[in-house]
Structure 1
Amino acid sequence: MEAVLTAAVALLDEAGEQALTLRALAGRLGTGVGSIYWYVSGKDELLDRAIDHVLGGVLSAVQVQVRSDDPIDDLRMMAVTLFDAIVDRPWLGTQFMRNIADRGNSLRLYEALGEQTLRLDLTPKQRFHAVSAVVGVVVGSAADLGQEPPEEVLDGAVGRDEFLGRYAEMWRELDAGEYPFMHEIVDEFDGHDDKEQFLAALELTLAGLRLQAGA
């Protein structure tokens, strides 16, 4: 089963969910499609198990991290670990909550995040909203960054900074009276660091949580 899941994850990493078929997996393993049915009932179960397999690694990485006296610091550490896993695997972002109803690693990760809020003075609704907000920032940011770049960036004809610079130049040419915000932030956008942008969004979320909890 380990070999089946490893091969399934490799297919997902290479070309996303559409690439994960039983026929493609059998070809990767050098076996017949019929032998895959010894392990899973079909593609849906295969995808579920592949997701759980990857999230098991994320959960293990979270569990070995040293806890601090500050639950919000611990939430930050866990959120960054999850972000790094999803941004490396864009297909995982849209599937993270797929198995939340089962007793798998998606539920365990959600529980691990939520347990940090139990250390804060919050109502049940505030805890629910807090974890939802953190997961939303992590998954949304990672999925956005994981989108396939334009063809000219992929084939190396244009670098990332040059591609972003084209938009920056267009924004600089806008009328400052009509678009004051765009003129204010264009230099920050030009050549910005994606990970830094995510961390800033996470920090805004956690700062709001800290204020709400009076921590």
Structure 2
Amino acid sequence: MATRARRPERREEPLSRERIVEAAIELLDTAGERGLTFRALAERLATGPGALYWHIAGKGELLDAATDAVVAGTLTAGPVDAAPREATRALALGVFDAVEAHPWIGAQFARAPWRSPMLRVFERLGRQVQAIGVPEAAQFTAVSALLNYILGVAGQNAANARAHQERQPDTDRAQFLGAVSASWAELDPDAYAFTRNVAEQLRDHDDREEFLAGIDFILTGIAVRHGPTGTAPS
């Protein structure tokens, strides 16, 4: 006896731009950018692809909107009335964690560096740099240094995690780093003296702590060179 094809479950919420973006984020997290198609999104929302175009013009706009939604959530999650240094550290760590949780964001930042999501981060960093007391002529350089470090390290960390999952899916992070550390320790002592020396540190390091340590290096340098007192903040 022939069976009828199962119809998609009827959506309980009315279709809206916000609901489409939310579903797109979920799809991007599970299937990546290649898996984000209007057909797949329509199936997830139990609607037709044509209905989506009433709210979103195309995939590029959808990716921008999804990135903007995640970044907006990151910017509102930081401490209220924090000192500039702590506010900058919180913002940087928020972006780091967001890219780790949603690796596709890193590619979006690189693809469209001057669109709204990136500008949100750039603006927030700029206000903290101004609050530190950096002279106007040096503010762009200071913010660029912070932004490039944040996006570079966050993106590389996400890429490393993906590579680990693809190449050694049956090992956890500690096992993976232990294997890399052991391989570093066996390198030629003349050609790789420094790398051999820090091999054990690689095994035990924490990515988030190392990331924040780098932020502190940059903030201390900014404060020493451009801060109002000429000394690093405590």
**Normalising by structure 2, what TM-score?**
0.80
Contact 2:23 2:41 in 1 (8 A): yes
The answer as to 2:65 corresponding to 1:49 is: yes
The answer as to 2:168 corresponding to 1:153 is: yes
Aligned to 2:147, which of 130, 135, 140? 135
> Could you tell me how far 1:185 is from its partner in structure 2?
0.6
Q: Calculate the aligned-residue CA RMSD, in Å.
A: 2.1
The answer as to 2:95 corresponding to 1:82 is: yes
Structure of higher CA gyration radius? 2
* Greater mean alpha carbon deviation, residues 166-175 or residues 28-37: 166-175
> Could you tell me how far 1:97 is from its partner in structure 2?
6.3
Show structure 1 runs of 5+ residues with no match: none
* Greater mean alpha carbon deviation, residues 196-205 or residues 167-176: 167-176
Q: Show CA shifts across 1:130-150 (max 9, x none).
A: 111111222111111112124
Contact 1:97 1:106 in 2 (8 A): no
Q: Show CA shifts across 1:36-92 (max 9, x none).
A: 111111111111211122222112213xx2223x42232112211222222211111
Q: 1:90 to 1:7 in 2, by over 3 A?
A: same
Q: Where do 1:39-118 residues align within 5 Å?
A: 39-62=55-78, 65-68=79-82, 70-96=83-109, 101-102=114-115, 104-118=116-130
Q: What SS class does the counterpart of residue 175 from structure 1 fall into? A: coil
Q: How many residues matched?
A: 209
Q: Distance in 2 between matches of 1:97 and 1:59?
A: 19
Q: Show CA shifts across 1:71-116 (max 9, x none).
A: 22321122112222222111112223666645x4542332121011
> Could you tell me how far 1:5 is from its partner in structure 2?
0.8
Aligned to 1:212: 225
Q: What SS class does the counterpart of residue 119 from structure 1 fall into? A: helix
* Percent identity over paired residues: 39
Show structure 2 runs of 5+ residues with no match: 1-16
Contact 1:58 1:82 in 2 (8 A): yes
